[in-house]
């Protein structure tokens, strides 16, 4: 008789995409078990577990052969930002990749840097600054640039309309 068993990853083999499991209900540890993945043909999915991660396994009657079905949430480990339509990967270093089908916004965050893409455009930011702000500030400075001359300050550039048009394109391209 085969059965569903729960346990924690006790060791991993990233190259072999397999792991050993210490089962919750007894002192038995598994041999090397393959991991069920969403795809393994032309489109591949790779994610190896971490030691201590809680998993569900389908095992034979003597726990000699089986497969790791996947990680499961338990009382000690829950997804904090779970909402309908949100697909999110939280990495151990704090980095996040997410897509929200309700808002149609995709976002990647690594440290203080982020890239956000939506149907309205995209934004690239680092800490409190964004690429849109930097580019707009640069063009504003070009629009108002004057130079000292013997007769006093020069007028703003004669091509100020070109800078204004570029700023409008940037505003439409970036969301923030």
Q: Name the residue ranges covered by the structural domains of the chain.
A: 3-71, 86-173
Q: Which of 87, 81, 91, 90 is nearest to 104 (CA)?
A: 87
Query: Topology of domain 3-71, per CATH?
Result: OB fold (Dihydrolipoamide Acetyltransferase, E2P) (2.40.50)
**Chain segment 51-68, per-residue pLDDT in tens:** 999 999 999 988 889 999
Confidence of residue 31 (pLDDT cuts 50, 70, 90): very high
**Chain segment 87-110, per-residue pLDDT in tens:** 888 888 989 999 999 999 999 999
DSSP string, 93-121: TS-EEEEETTTTEEEEEETTEEEEEETTE
DSSP string, 51-90: TT-EEEEEE-TTSSSEEEEEE--BTTB--TT--TTEEEEE
């Amino acid at each position: 008789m085969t059965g569903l068993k729960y346990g924690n990853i006790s060791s991993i083999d990233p190259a072999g995409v397999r792991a050993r499991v210490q089962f919750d209900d007894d002192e038995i540890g598994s041999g090397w078990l393959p991991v069920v993945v969403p795809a393994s043909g032309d489109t591949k999915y790779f994610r190896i577990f971490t030691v201590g991660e809680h998993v569900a396994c389908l095992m034979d009657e003597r726990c000699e052969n089986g497969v790791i079905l996947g990680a499961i949430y338990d009382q000690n480990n829950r997804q904090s930002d779970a909402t309908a339509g949100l697909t999110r990967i939280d990495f151990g270093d704090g980095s996040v990749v997410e897509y929200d089908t309700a808002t149609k916004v995709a976002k990647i965050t690594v440290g203080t840097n982020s890239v956000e893409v939506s149907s309205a455009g995209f934004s690239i930011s680092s800490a409190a600054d964004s690429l849109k702000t930097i580019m707009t500030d640069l063009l504003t400075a070009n629009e108002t640039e004057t130079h000292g001359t013997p007769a006093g300050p020069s007028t703003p550039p004669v091509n100020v309309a070109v800078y204004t048009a570029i700023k409008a394109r940037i505003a439409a391209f970036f969301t923030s």
